[in-house]
Amino acid sequence: MDGNGRWAQSKGRPRIFGHIHGSNKVRTIVKECGKAGIAYLTLFAFSSENWGRPKEEVQKLMGLLCKYLSKELNTLIKENIRFNYIGDVEKLPPSAQDILKETVKKTSANTGLCLTFALSYGSRNEILRATKLIAKDCKDGLLSIDAINEDVYKNYLYTYNLPDPDLIIRTSGESRLSNFLLWQAAYAEIYVSPKYWPEFSKADLKLALQDYSKRKRRFGLIGAQATKPNEAQL
Ligand code: FPP
C-alpha cells in the first residue's frame, strides 16, 4: 500500500493525511476483494523498516490501525471475513496487540476472505527466524536435517497457514518487492499500478485482476505442462 506520503505531499498536506485516506482505502479494497470471491488478501501495512520513521508518524499509524480494527470488527464479522496477521507483532504497543488478537478471535469462525495484515513485517527477518527455529528443532532432536525440504521450511514461516500469493499488486509505480514475502513470492505475478495507494480505486483493482487473468504461468515448466488456472489470490 505504497504512496500515502507522496499522495498527501502532492496535495500540500501532511503525510498523516495520506495514511488516513490510505486506511479508508483499505476498507474499500477489502470489501471489493470479498465481493470478487478472492480467498486470501495480504496487505503490507507496516514493515520492520517503518519503525525507523519519525516517532509521531509511527504513533499515528499505530493509532490508525487500532481505529480501523475497532471500527471494522462488526463489518468483518458481517461480511464473513477472517482476520489474520503476520510479523513481529510483539514490537507493537500492547493495546494494538490486544485488538489484533481480539479481531482474530472474533472472526475465526468466518469462512470467506482471509484478510491478513503484515505488521512489523520484513521477509528477511522472517526467513532468519524460520532458520533459527529449524536449527533449534534439529538441536532438540525434533527434526532431522535430512527431513528439511520446502514444505517443512514453509511451516516455520509466519505464513505457514497461507498459500503462496498468486498476484502481488504494488501501488505508486515502484517495481520492487521491498522485503515483502520473498520466499512466498517465488512464482507470484507482479502488477505495478502507477496510482498512489489512497487513489487506488475499485476500477484499478479490476484492471490488475484483468491483467493477471491474461498471464501465462508456467512455474518453471513448459507451456503445455503448466495448466493451473489463474485463480486470483492476492
Ligand atoms: C506506505 O506509504 C504506507 C505505509 C507505510 C503504511 C500503510 C498504512 C495505511 C494504509 C494506513 C493504516 C493501516 C491500516 C492497516 C488501517 P508511504 O508512507 O511509504 O508513502 P510514500 O512512499 O509516498 O512516502
The CA distance from 136 to 89, in Å, is 21
Q: Using a 6 Å cutoff on CB, does residue 6 contact ligand 1?
A: yes
SS3 185: helix
Domain spans of the chain? 4-122+167-225
- CA-to-CA separations, 164 to 42, 71, 186, in angstroms, rounded: 10, 29, 8
Query: CATH: 3.40.50.2300, 3.40.50.720, 3.20.20.70, 3.40.1180.10. Which one for 4-122+167-225?
Result: 3.40.1180.10
Q: Using a 6 Å cutoff on CB, does residue 23 contact ligand 1?
A: yes
DSSP for 12-81, written as a single string:
T--HHHHHHHHHHHHHHHHHHHHHTT-SEEEEEEEEGGGGGS-HHHHHHHHHHHHHHHHHHHHHHHHTTP
Q: Which residue shows C-alpha cell 482476520?
A: 83
Q: Are 159 and 86 in contact (CB under 8 A)?
A: yes
Ligand 1 center from residue 152 Cα (angstroms): 33
Reported as a pLDDT band with limits 50, 70 and 90, residue 229 is low
Q: Are 193 and 171 in contact (CB under 8 A)?
A: yes
Convert the pLDDT of each residue in 55-113 to its tens digit. 999 999 999 999 999 999 999 999 999 999 999 999 999 999 999 999 999 999 999 99
Convert the pLDDT of each residue in 10-42 to its tens digit. 999 999 999 999 999 999 999 999 999 999 999
Closest atom, ligand 1, to C-alpha of 117: 15
pLDDT of residue 219: 87
Closest atom, ligand 1, to C-alpha of 20: 11
Q: Using a 6 Å cutoff on CB, does residue 2 contact ligand 1?
A: yes
Among positive and negative, which fits the CA dihedral 208, 114, 6, 186?
A: negative
Q: Using a 6 Å cutoff on CB, does residue 68 contact ligand 1?
A: yes
pLDDT of residue 90: 98
Residues 6+ apart with CB under 8 A from 119: 45, 46, 65, 85, 86, 87, 89, 92, 100
Query: Has residue 234 got a pLDDT over 60?
Result: no
Closest atom, ligand 1, to C-alpha of 61: 12
Query: Has residue 231 got a pLDDT over 90?
Result: no
